[in-house]
Structures are given as C-alpha cells and as structure tokens.
Structure 1
Amino acid sequence: MGVPAFYRWLIQKYPKALVEATEETGVSIDTASPNPNGIEFDHLYLDMNGIIHPCFHPEDHPCPPKTFEDVFNNIFLYIDHLFSIVRPRKLLYMAIDGVAPRAKMNQQRSRLFRTAKDREIAEAEEDRLRIQFKMDGKPVLPKHECEVEDSNVITPGTEFMYKLSEALRSYISSRINNDPGWKDIKVILSDANVPGEGEHKIMSFVRQQRRVAGYNPDTRHCIYGLDADLIMLALATHEVHFSILREIGQQPVHESSNMANTSVLWVKKPYQFLHIWIFREYLELDMKISDDSDPPGNLTIDLERIVDDFILMCLLVGNDFLPHMPSLEIHEGALDLLMAVYKKEFKNLGGYLVDMSRLAEDKGTGYVKLSRVEKFILLVGLYEERIFKKRSELRERQLKRLCNYANNQDDYNGGRIMEIGTKNSSCVFFSEKAPAFRDSAMVSEENVSFPLVSDDAGSSEIVGNTKELNEILKSNLRKHNDLYMKGSCTDKVRFGNAGWKQRYYKEKFSAESSMDIENWRRELVANYTKGILWVLVYYYSGVPSWTWFYPYHYAPFASDMKGLAQVRVRFEKDSPFKPFDQLLAVLPPRSAHAVPKVYQTLMTDEQSSMIDLYPSDFDIDTDGKRFQWQGLCKLPFIEVGRLLSETKELEKNLSEAESERNRNSIDQLYLGRTHKLASQIFSLRPNPNEMVNIDTSLRCVCFEMIGGFMHIPCLLPGVNVPDKTITESDIMDAQLWHEVQVNRPTNRN
C-alpha cells in the first residue's frame, strides 16, 4: 500500500522522471531481440500481488474469470507482457507476499474484514433489487457461484495460493524450455510460503547482491509493482540504475476481439518507467539547503544522506504500519511542507536526521538522530493550527455547496435534503427517505463482482434487464459510500476550531482530564517513535521484529512529539507466523472457508474461546470524512498468545497436504540444464539434497542468501552515474497548501 497519493504527487512535481514504455505488438514477440526502450535491463523483479489481484478481480471487465485456472492463465499472460517490455538478460525474480510482520497484519486484517463487509452489503442490496425486478415483471439472469468470489483467498496458506505456486512452477518450466528470451536467465520464485512481503523480499535480495564479490555496480534493475513504497525502497538501495514499471491509469484495451465468447480475457494498459536516477537528480536540486541554513560546522552536503532523510519524511507522511499524524495529508501538501521545513531549518537541526551507515554497527538507535528528529517534527507541528483551519474552511465550503446542489434537485435519492449544519458536530443531511443499506462498513462498487452478461445468456430482454440491475446496483453503492449525500456525516473533533486537541483525545482515547491527555500523549509518543524506528530499519535492513506492532488505532499530533528523543528501543529478532496462524489473524468469519476445517470453528462457533476477535459487525470511524472508504476500521487487535495456544494443538489434526501449506520455506531457483551460472550465483548456498530435476532440461534449487551482510547506503565504487538532464528550471516552486486559497498547492516555475 505504502504512502497514499505519493505517486500522483511525484509525477506532478517531477514529470521528467517518467518515460512511457515502448511496447511491441503482435502474436509472437522475440524477447531475445534488443529492447525497443533503448535500455538492456539485467534484472526484472515482479511484485506478484500487483499482478494477482487485477487478474483475480479485474475492474469493469466484460468477462471476468470464473475459476482458479482462468486466473492463472491471466497471470501468465500478464507476466509474458511485462517480460516482453523489460526483457531481462540475467535474472527474473517473482515474489509473492508471504507471511507478513505483525506490524502489517493490522492493516491486512482491516482491509480483509472490510472486503467481506462490502460483499455482504452489496449482496443484500442485489437481492433486494432482484426481488424488486421480479415484482415489476422484469426477469434477470440468475446468480452464478464460482471459485473466485472471495478475493480474501489471496492470502498465504490458502489452497488458492498453493495451487498458484504449482501453476507458476509449470509456467516457468514451459517458458525456459520454449522462449528464447528465457533460455539463458536465472528465474527465482519466492512464493507465498516464503515469509515476508513480496517487495521487501526483492529488496533484501538486491541489498545482499550488492555485497557479493564481483557484483557489477552498473547492474540495471527494473521492478514492476503498484505500491508507492517501491519508490522509497528503490531509493533506499542506493542503486542508481533502477527503474520502476507500472501501468498508466487510462482506459483499458481488451486484447481479444471476440469478448462475448472468450471466458478469460487479459486487459492491456499502457505502461511507463519511473527512472530512479532522474528522480535523484530532481531531489539533489529540490532539496538544496537554503542560503540562510548553511551546513553546520564542517558538515558537507551528501546527496546519499539527503536521500535517506527524504525517505524518513515519506514514512512520516504515510506507511502500512503506522497511522499517519492527523495534520500530515499528502494531498494537502504534507510532503512539500516537510521538505520546506527541512531545507529552512537544516542548520538549526544540526544536520542530517539519519545515518543509516551506522545501522550495522549500532544495535541501539544511533542510526537516527532522535534529538534532531524531535526538533524537526515539532517544527512541523507549528503549522498544525493553520492546516486544520484551512481544512475546516474548505470542508464547510464544500458542505454548503453540496447542500445547495442537493436542494436544487427535484428528487435526490428518494427525498429532498432539508437542512445541513456546519458550525458544530451536526453536519448531517436530513432526508425524507432513509437509505436501504446498513451503515456499518465501507462499500465500494469497484470491489463488487457482478454477474456475467453475454448476448448468449438468453433473450435480449433478460440481458437488458440484468444490465439495468447492475447499473442501479453500482449507483446505489456509490450513493451509500458518500456520507455527505447519505446523511451520515459527522465532525465531532472539529479540527481548526478552538479545543480541537482536547476533543481529539476525548473522542479517540476517552481522555477527560488534562492529566489523562498527558498520559496518553506520552504513551503514544513512545510507541509511535518505536514505530518510526521499526519502519526505517525494515526499509534498509529487513524485518527488525516479526512480532512488534503499533497497539493503537490513532497517531499523536506532530506538535505532541515532545520527548521523542528519550525513547530507547531494541528490537528482538524473532520468528514469523506460520501461514495458517496469519490466516486466523487477518481473515474475517465470512472467509473461514479458506482455512482448514479444523480451524474454522475458532472463527465461527459462538462457543469459541476466540469468537470475540471475529466480530460480524464493527465500528468504522468516519468522523470528519466524506466517504466511508476513508474511515478507520476499529477491529480488536489479535492477541497472539491466545491464537498460538489454540493452533498449537489443532496443528496435530492437519492432513499431510494441509501441513505442507502451513510450512515456511525458502526461495527456489530455476535454471536450464545448460545454463552457466553468473558470478553472483556463488553467493548462494544450495543444498545438494534439495536439487530437483523438473524435467530433462530444467533444474530447481532451493536456496537461502548467506546472512551477516549489512546494507551499504551509498553508491558503490565504480558505478557510472548517467549524465544529468535535470536543471534548476525543472524545479517547481510549490507554495505551501495552507498558504493558498485553493484546494491544492499551486506549482509555478
């Protein structure tokens, strides 16, 4: 997930870092021929979950997949196309999300519970519409159950993920044996049984390779993925020749010309490269220290250190492991604000915020200058009042505009909006007709799969009625998701109005007195600081602790981070969950079918000792939000001790096949039998007993990287940095969001 809206911010601020990818067309593409993009990439890394999800539940697809086999075929076509664009000459690394750190499971649990609730609400509304259509004498196509109804099965340990790994092994064998572009490359598959998030497994591999004797510092890397944090992770490697490939958000083009009769379709979109070396050029100019903030003492300006500080700023704006501070929204120019404060106050701060080169030698927190970070965040906190005031003014203006719009409609959602309040917590629309949905969770029409409509499905009348039902369903889901229009908008904290901080602590933490607020502030600052350190280490050195997590739903204010410098923490390197333990930690009861039968009663039986951890209904905090998807899902945190004590006994009843799905494994390396291993392969430690002959012309080796190497956060000796193309005239001067009179910052040359 990463930093919300970061990619949009980047392409608007640093547009020349992006280049449209050239794609060859045709039935048969020679991937061994020169790359039409003018760059010969050495390594291609695929963050596979960015491929699996759109192949499992494509948006607005006329013919979505019905079976696992359909999904697998879509994935193979997807990989083929990415391979034809990048054409790696040495290595293809495919990484599927395995068991995640405990810190990530809170976000996963929230997302999967919401997905299940979305489906429940959408199905209830569809059933209501079907009854209505039947009463009106309008026949529609019947519902069809299929294997791919529940996307929550895209989680380590499920039967779907196990079958996907088997399918990918066959796919790799076929391509190495039959595609000239695959013949001489190494292929690594890190499937869902290998612990770790896909993108972090990839970056760990890159960091380890940099320490191998004979590694070429001019190795050209390309990674495909949809998460914005890939950009920060690529920067953190300090590899210059790094590109990120991703789709451009435009209307998809369907490859097949016979859509009605094709059960599986792959949707093509245009792609673009984000070149990290150009992004670094932008940062070098845009992060230039101002004249009135010369470096202190004998400190010299080092781009690599500035890059590391920039990564810290990005993590403060948002990440998958901590709730972001209330005043730091990237669409409100938060990153521009952090950069401006950093440049202006660099001398007063005392220099750089982090020194990641000390991570290897310091087991404490010496790699972060906590006193400087505290001073920096408190300086950012000085802008909170102005940010909240601007946000409040815009919200009030928007509410009035929407109210005027709705009152000008003859009929809105079955009833007229009568009144709206904007001066207090009662900013609620009052409608004569209540909505037909339950109000307990977020609904997004993009997350709903609709019945397949085909001209072969029956009479044109039935097809037309079904299309009409689907359109009404989508429209109703959109209306349900809009809290302003639905009449469910609240604003209890009222940021920007006097007393907002006290109201925040009262509403979010039930803190009534000044002493309660101070106690909560200290507790939050201590845990949030640990979280910042955890995320920073994770980005540079791998998982510092598999079991640590931030134990609250909300973050402190930037202005409340006093005392950050006194926090001391030492993470213990423990072990990851087993796949089935993670399934129980993140899946909702509605997805209990995805876990082994012996585990299902823990999630569904009312007499289960853990049933309190699997609520069928839960609170979504949408206070101050317009859309339900913006709300915070307040689920109880999984209690690891209780969970593991239950599963320890149940594991004994697993079948052999289930036990195989529940094990943590290591990466698999695939080679053609005639392949000559490149020099870097000697950094691997193959186990001869685990050598597998896939067929007469292919071998598979299970391996682990040699441990003990620490990442070097700088350019490697001998690297050839590309000639610079970005100049001062390319840097946009962004006025701070709270200083302008429009919704977004105005960029001017």
Structure 2
Amino acid sequence: MGVPAFYRWLAEKYPMVVVDVVEEEPVEVEGVRVPVDTSRPNPNGLEFDNLYLDMNGIIHPCFHPEDRPSPTTFAEVFQCMFDYIDRLFVMVRPRKLMYMAIDGVAPRAKMNQQRSRRFRAAKDASDAAAEEERLREEFEREGRKLPAKQQSQTCDSNVITPGTGFMAVLSVALQYYIHLRLNYDPGWKQIKVILSDANVPGEGEHKVMSYIRGQRNLPGFNPNTRHCLYGLDADLIMLALATHEVHFSILREVVYTPGQQDKCFLCGQVGHLAANCEGKAKRKGGEYDEKGEAIVPKKPYQFLNIWTLREYLEHEFRMPNPPFKIDFERIVDDFIFMCFFVGNDFLPHMPTLEIREGAINLLMAVYKKEFPSMGGYLTDSCTPDLNRVEHFIQAVGSYEDKIFQKRARLHQRQAERIKREKAQAKRGDDLDPHVRDDLIVPVANFRGSRLASGAVPSPYEQNGAHRERNSQPQKAARISSSGSSIAAAIVEAENDLEAQERENKEDLKSRLKDAIREKSDVFNSENPEEDKVKLGEPGWRDRYYEEKFGARTSDQMEEIRRDVALKYTEGLCWVMHYYYEGVCSWQWFYPYHYAPFASDLRNLSQLNITFELGSPFKPFDQLMGVFPAASAHALPLQYRQLMTDPNSPIIDFYPTDFEVDMNGKRFSWQGIAKLPFIDEDRLLAEIKKVEHTLTPEEARRNSTMCNMLFVNGSHPLSPYIYSLNSKFGNTPNKDLIEIKEKLDPSPSGGMNGYIALCAGDPSPPVFRSPVDELEDIMDNQVICSVYKLPDPHKHIARPPAGVIVPKKLCV
C-alpha cells in the first residue's frame, strides 16, 4: 500500500484520528544529563500496557539518520537504534510488555517485492556512486576541497535482510540493550521484553499480530489491554483494525503537518511528502553542533487512535433503510478487504484504482450503493464471499472508462505544465548573468583566474571571496594585537579549511540528490518512454494485455485474462487469510508484474481456491532469492559464486541490468522492475549442493530459532524461569526444543503461551558489550527464556466480552 498516500488520505478525511505526542525531554543539572523517569505517569494521559516495535522501521532510518551524520560502522548504527528505542519508550512507557519484532524470512508472496526493491537499491547505489564521482571531479577542477571518502560498513542497506552477518550481530546488540535497560532503568524493571529476531520466520508486524491474536479470549486476557504499535508501513493500520482490539494506537513520525499537507517536513518545499523527499533537509543558519555538523530538528510524532478510526468508519458506513441489521464488525472487515484493491505488499494495485485519485472514496461509495443488492457482506472474517466480491468489483469496473479518460486529461495537463516550466527555467538560465538582478555580483568579488576566463563565479566562490576579503584585515589585527604566535594563525586557517570542506560536503550531497532526481524524471529524458497502452482511448483493454502480458491473439488475451484474474483472486484470499489467521501458504505468490482491471474479475464463484501451507525458506535461501549479485558479499563463498560465476546454472536469476517499465509514472523509482521470477525448484536444487560447505557460525545464521523472553530478577515471572532451569538445566541442547512449560497468566501479567530453556546460561553474571564504547554489564540481574505462542485457536473478529469502548467524539 502506498504509505504516504494512504496515511495522507486517512489524516485528511478523518483528522481526529491523529493526536500529537507529548514528549518529555531529559534535563541537565549542573552539566549532567538526567534521563526521563519513565516509571512516572505518561504525560499523554494514557497508560499503555504493551508496546510493539516493527524493528525494520527503526533499523532502516538508523542506517541513514536525519538528526546526525550517517554512520559508517555497525556500532554507530546500534547506538543510533538504542537512542531511537529510548525515545519511543519515553513516549509510550509500556507497563507490561515490550515486543521487538525484526523481519524474519517472509512468505514467497512478499519475496517478489523484496527482490524488486533490493535489485533497484543496488542499481540506484551504482548510479549514485558514478554520479558522485563525476561531481567530485567537478569540485576538484574548481579547486574545492572535499573530505576524503570514508570506508563504511553501512554502504549496502541490503544487509538488513535475514541471514546476513549484520542481522546476527544486531540480535546480540539488542540483547545487550535489553539487559542494559532491564538492569538499570526503573521504567523497565517490571515489564517483560520479547525479542523476535531475524531467525524467527515471518514479517515483523505479522509476528506482532500473531502474538496479539494468540492472547485474545484466553484465561487471564484483559479485554481492555492498551496496545501501541510503532512502525512506518500504512498496512499497520489495517492490521490493527483486523485484530478488533479497540484500545489500539499506531505510533509514527509526522509525515506532514495538518493544514500544510502539501509541504514537505524535511525541505519545506511543496509538491511532495517527507517520505518521498529527494531534496536537502531544511536547516536554519547557524544551527551546528560542536563538531560542525548541521543540526536537524527532531521530527514530532503522532498517535493514530484506532478507536477513533472505528468511530469514523461507523459514521461513514451508515446506510438508510439497510436490508438487515448492520453488524459494524463485519463492515470493518469489508473495509480492510476493499483497501487491498488499491495496493498491498503482495499484489500490484489495479490500474483502475489510485489512492491519490480518490480510489478509496470510490470503493466506499460503491459499497454503500451496492450493499442492498449484494445480499450480505464481502467477507466472513478471513474468508471472502467471491460471488459478492464479483458483484462489488464489477460495479467498480463500470467506472473504468471515466477514470482512465479523466486520468489521461490530467496527465496531459501535467505534462504540458512541466514542459512549460522547464522551458521557462532553461530560457532563464541562458540569459546573460550580468543582466539578471539575482546574479549581479561586484566585479571585485570575482576570483582572478575565473574573471580572466570570463566565467561566472559559483555562489561558493562569491561567498568565499567576500569572506576572504573581509576576514584578512581582521585576522591580521587580531594576531597583531594579541601577540599570538604564527601557530595560532595556522590553527585558525586549518579550522577555516575544515569548515570549508564541510560546506563543500553538504553542497555535494545536495547537488547529488538534485542530479539523481533530475535523471530519474522522465520529463528530462530525450527519448521518453512511449505510452502504448493509452488507457482511456478505445481499445485500451486489448492494448494492455498485448503490451504488459505479451498476448498476440484474441484467444491468448482471453486465456491470459482468465489466468491473471484467477491468480489475483487467489491473492486477495491469501492476503485476507494472512491478515486474520496468519500464513496459509509459504510458497504461494502472484506470478505477474501487473494486475487485471476491475472489470476482468468475472465468474469468481466458479473458482476453486485452496492453499497448501508448506514451510518457509531458510534465511540463505531467501537471500539467494531476493539479492542482486552486488550484495553477494553478505553470503558465504559457495553461495556467492552461484550469483556471480558466469557458468552458474542459475546466473539468469541475477541480471546486472533489467527493464524498468514506467507504466505511466514520472520518476524511475515509481516504475516496475521487470525481473525474472525465481524458479524455486531450480534455486533450491543448486543451494542443496553447497549447503554442506557452511561453517558452524554460518549454519546458525541459516537456522530457524524462537522468540526470546527477558525479565528482571524482581519480576513475578522470574521464579518460574529459574525453576525451569533448575529442573532441566542439564538437558543437551538438541533435546531442549521438546521441553516447554505452560505459562500461568497470573504472574505473567495476563500473558499466555509457553516458556522453554534457551541455549547457554539464561542469566550470565556478566553480559559483555558487543558495541564499541559501551561498558560490560556487571552483576547482571536479568534472566532469559525461550517464549512460544499459545496453541492455535480461531481468531474471533470482534471485540472481546468486557471491553469498555472509549467515549465517542461525535465526529
């Protein structure tokens, strides 16, 4: 789902769902920084029980943080993450549970999207490196000094994938952080912490949802549990709705300020949101730290309250004279299902529906109009009623011609406007600079060599010359009057040089972003891709299947159309099951790059859709399925050779170049990467031949593990873990997997499930720091166990008995 588009739609249509977070800041007392006491009441007026972190929404921003220089080592990334989590903890202050969920191996349906993203990331990184080298040479010709390029462990963000060495070290670093906080922070002392790292299969947010669904309606479960989930993906909102837990908030950064929706938070420019920002971060003059690095203000945060969204939806879906009494909980399920049509992580969105064009409003309007004649709801918990789905989507399809015609008109106007603006800008650039008011510069400011050649000085040279002319007499006076030594003058000159290099570095970064954006803009291309489909013009359906699917005859078109409709409908059923019950097939995926039209989903009730559960890939299998050859360094040698050796039997899976279909979009990153789909049988057959070469450490990275549960020794649950260790502490590691004890929900704070022994010492007296500059934990008081979910039971898609619904806002 388009993250900024959906969140923007939601916040604009239902403004009261978002509430600004009140943050308490640390204070300084006599130069000593005093952290916030998180054991005190939450200043937001809410006391949350559980905080869940979709950790990939933390890891990625910490590879490229906005409030500090980009890290060059993993240790710096970890320190950034610790600060990030600390800030979130201060905002939420959970009283029972902190759940950290890192993406593990994903279902095959998600792996296709991951493959596309990682191949694009590698290609973009290569293009950016070439452009940066060109700019560096240009700066050098101008005599502008730049700091030397630093070697960095973080240059390839593709390592944020299960199975890599980085993810293994990350798990240890987070275990250290958890021990640190549980030992020393009063706000953490009485909470449980679950760490589900990259060796536990499943996407982070879906592991969280499995935990929440697994607790509901069991003995000891509190129906008024207050949940808070942090993450950046828009689908978290749908997942929260699907739990039917009323007291649920989504914590996220503010993408834009209400009332200034067209203004980017980062650069202050209009026309895009922060999530799509390619420009330079907005900085006020003079805001620099002691190292000379520009200071970026902290982003504010918001709570998106699900109970308020439910109230809005209840109001939105009121229907006059309904054919039967409306069950609002079923309406919520139908709303979630409808939103799948505008895009999700597992299916391409229909060409008919674009969020920015009001697609969700259209879907809701059609639903309300057709509800009396549909005969009932679109879904029953996780199961779509395909006969009603066909009725509904055919009604949506009746608008396709109008939608495409309107879109074509808008695209034509946009193209004409952009071409006109670019032409005006070009004419302005071609004017003689000496007759342009904004470029008139005193001749005395020009550098000699540049003036002699008749060249126009860069703004850097203009400012530098001005500083140099004005500062020299002042420097001489200072040196003379103070009697400072020549050494002091040299130090000052070196400081000026360093400041100049920093300024050049910032300019380089800004120009690099501008250059990359310009190159990715189809309106700057001399040979823009021709739109051969021409949606909205007669014959668009046949042209679509001819151009996008390679159909050449009417029989081929009909055969492809039927198969695409079948696979897409399978996908809708798969996604609905995934949201409500978990994975129903690890191997299923949508085998096309494009979606059908809404009007193509016909005869759905005749389809027989079943799924086979299967099993998840191993971490290295997934890496081989989603990584480009440029990221092969993160894999063991024999695996690496399968990706890079020209004679590899699967070398065709790793193209160094690939077609990007712009598909009517403006920027290259919005296009569709037409990568070959992985043949699972071929891939696994070749991997099997080299798996025996793994070292013990690599084999561990390639294994499946369990969630880890941590508590302080003073927690009521700790005696049960100590007791388990006393009874089974001498059991060989290979037999530990069979041992588990059911949790008593009373000492666990209402948590159900099982605990089991972890390998190694569950409570080492000293926990060694894996992070540079952080001290070992001495006299450790934290104990760890394995945590396993309760036995599977059906998710009841409605609020549990005893829930107290918050007072309505009368929206």
Q: Where on the TM-score scale, by shorter chain, does this alignment land: which range?
A: 0.7 to 0.9
Q: 1:184 to 1:15 in 2, by over 3 A?
A: same
For residues 638 and 412 of structure 2, the distance between their equivalents in structure 1, rounded to whole angstroms, comes to 53
- For 2:106 and 2:298, locate their aligned partners in 1 and report how far apart those are by CA, in whole Å: 30
Letter in 2 for 1:142: A
Give the aligned partner of residue 544 of structure 1.
Answer: 584
Residue 40 of structure 2 is matched in structure 1 by: 33
Query: What do residues 436-476 of structure 1 show as CA deviations (whole Å, max 9, x unaligned)?
Result: xxxxxxxxxxxxxxxxxx99694555444444433332221
For residue 405 of structure 1, what is the aligned residue in structure 2?
A: 421
With over 3 angstroms needed to count, the CA separation of the structure-2 counterparts of 1:672 and 1:62, relative to structure 1, is: closer
Residue 259 of structure 1: CA displacement?
3.0
In the TM superposition, what are the counterparts of 1:90-101 in structure 2 within 5 Å?
90-101=96-107
- CA distance 1:62–1:274, change in 2 (3 Å): closer
In the alignment, which residue of structure 2 is the partner of 1:377?
Answer: 393
Q: CA deviation at 1:88?
A: 0.4
- What letter matches 1:289 in structure 2? M
Note closer, same or farther for the CA distance 1:18–1:467 as it changes in structure 2 (3 Å cut).
Answer: closer
Deviates more, 1:490-499 or 1:582-591: 490-499
Stretches of structure 2 lacking an aligned partner (at least 5 in a row): 27-33, 256-264, 267-280, 432-492, 718-744, 766-779
Of the three residues 719, 728, 740, the one matched with 2:803 is 719
Pairing of 1:641-652 with structure 2 (within 5 A): 641-652=681-692
Check if 1:52 corresponds to 2:52.
no
Q: Which one of the candidate residues 353, 374, 380 is aligned to 2:378?
A: 353
| Rounded Cα–Cα distance in structure 1 between residues aligned with 2:124 and 2:4 | 21
Question: Are 2:196 and 2:707, in contact at CA under 8 Å, matched by a contact in 1?
Answer: yes
1:306-705 pair list within 5 angstroms: 306-356=331-381, 367-411=383-427, 458-487=497-526, 488-677=528-717, 678-679=745-746, 683-688=752-757, 690=759, 692-695=762-765, 696-705=780-789
Corresponding residue for 2:319?
Answer: 289
* Residue 206 (structure 2) pairs with residue 200 (structure 1): yes
Can you give the 5+ residue segments of structure 1 that lack an aligned partner in the other structure?
360-366, 416-453, 728-749
Aligned to 1:437: none
Output the amino acid matched with 2:690.
Answer: L
Which of 292, 302, 305 lines up with 2:330 in the alignment? Answer: 305
Secondary structure, aligned partner of 2:228: strand
The Cα offsets for residues 30-85 of structure 1, whole Å up to 9 and x where unpaired, read as 000001010110000000110111111125x5511111000000100111110011
Q: Is structure 2 residue 308 aligned with structure 1 residue 268?
A: no
Q: What CA distance in whole angstroms lies between the structure 2 residues aligned with 1:601 and 1:266?
A: 43
Tell me, in whole angstroms, the C-alpha distance in 1 between the residues paired with 2:380 and 2:19. 32
Distance 1:263 1:171, change over 3 A: farther
Contact 1:190 1:666 in 2 (8 A): yes
Letter in 1 for 2:303: F
Alpha-carbon deviation of 1:407? 2.6
Q: Which moved more, 1:717-726 or 1:610-619?
A: 717-726
Distance in 1 between residues matched to 2:219 and 2:683, nearest whole Å? 44
Aligned to 1:686, what secondary structure does the other structure show? strand
- For 1:216, give the aligned amino acid: N
From the superposition, tell whether residues 651 and 273 of structure 1 become closer, same or farther in structure 2 (CA, over 3 Å): same
Cα distance between partner residues in 2 of 1:481 and 1:682: 50
Q: Displacement of 1:141 after TM fit? A: 2.7
| CA–CA separation in structure 1 for the residues paired with 2:425 and 2:148 | 35
1:552-611 residue CA offsets vs partner (Å, 9 max, x unmatched): 101100011112221112111111111111111111111111111221111111111111
Q: Is the 8 A contact 1:186 1:671 kept in 2?
A: yes
> What do the CA deviations read for 1:291-319 (whole angstroms, capped 9, x no partner)?
4xx22xxx320110000000001111110
In the alignment, the residues of structure 2 paired with residue 665 and residue 615 of structure 1 have an alpha-carbon distance, to the nearest angstrom, of: 32
The one-letter code matched in structure 2 to 1:176 is L
1:520 shift after superposition: 0.8
Q: Answer whether contact 2:47 2:94 (CA < 8 A) is retained.
A: yes
The aligned residue for residue 418 of structure 1 is none
Secondary structure (helix, strand or coil) at the match of 1:261 reads: coil
TM-superposition CA deviations, 1:264-303 (whole Å, max 9, x none): 9997311110110010000001011244xx22xxx32011
Equivalent position to 1:248, from 244, 251, 254: 254
Q: Note if contact 1:3-1:318 (Cα within 8 Å) is conserved in structure 2.
A: no
- Decide whether the 8 Å contact of 1:253 with 1:267 is kept in 2: no
Asked whether the equivalents of residues 132 and 512 of structure 2 are also in contact (C-alpha less than 8 Å), the reply is: yes
Alpha carbons of structure 1 residues 456 and 67: separation in structure 2 relative to 1, 3 Å: farther
The residue that corresponds to 2:723 in the other structure is: none
SS at match of 2:425: coil
Change (3 A) 1:264 1:564: farther
Q: 1:710 to 1:385 in 2, by over 3 A?
A: same
Percent sequence identity is 54
Give TM-score, length-normalised by structure 2.
0.80
**Greater mean deviation of Cα atoms: 131-140 or 379-388:** 131-140
3-state SS of the aligned residue for 2:678?
coil
3-state SS in 1 of match to 2:763: strand
1:391 positional shift: 0.3
Equivalent AA in structure 2 for residue 288 of structure 1: R
How far does residue 509 in structure 1 lie from its aligned partner after superposition? Answer: 1.0
RMSD between superposed Cα atoms in Å: 2.4
Quick one: distance in 2 between partners of 1:213 and 1:580?
39
CA shift in 2, pair 1:414/1:495, >3 Å:
farther
**More deviation in 683-692 or 256-265?**
256-265
Q: Contact between 2:52 and 2:98, CA under 8 Å: does it hold in 1?
A: yes
- Distance in 2 separating the partners of 1:585 and 1:266: 38
Which residue does the alignment assign to 1:12?
12
Counterpart code for 2:57? G
The answer to whether the 8 Å contact 2:712/2:781 transfers is yes
CA distance 1:262–1:48, shift in 2 (3 Å): farther
Counterparts in 2 of 1:68 and 1:596: CA distance versus 1, 3 Å: same
What pairs up with 1:183-194 in 2 under 5 angstroms?
183-194=189-200
Hey, what's the Cα distance between the residues in 2 that align with 1:456 and 1:669? 50
TM-score normalized with structure 1 length: 0.86
